[in-house]
Amino acid sequence: KEIAAALLQADVNVRYVSELRSNVRKRVLLESDAGGVNKRKLIQKAVVEELVRMMSAERKPYKLEKGACNIIMFVGLQGSGKTTTCTKYAHYYNRKGWRTALVCADTFRAGAFDQL
The model carries a pTM of 0.47
Instruction: For residue range 12-23, list pLDDT tens digits in order.
Output: 889 989 999 999
Domain ranges of the chain: 2-55, 63-116
Domain 2-55: which CATH class?
mainly alpha
Q: pLDDT tens digit string along 43-63?
A: 888 888 988 888 776 767 778
Q: What is the pLDDT of residue 44?
A: 86
When the pLDDT of each residue in the chain is averaged and rounded to a whole number, the result is 84
76 phi, psi to nearest 5 deg: 180, 175
DSSP 43-78: HHHHHHHHHHHHHSTTSPPP---TTS---------T
Q: How many CB atoms lie within 10 A of CB 105?
A: 8
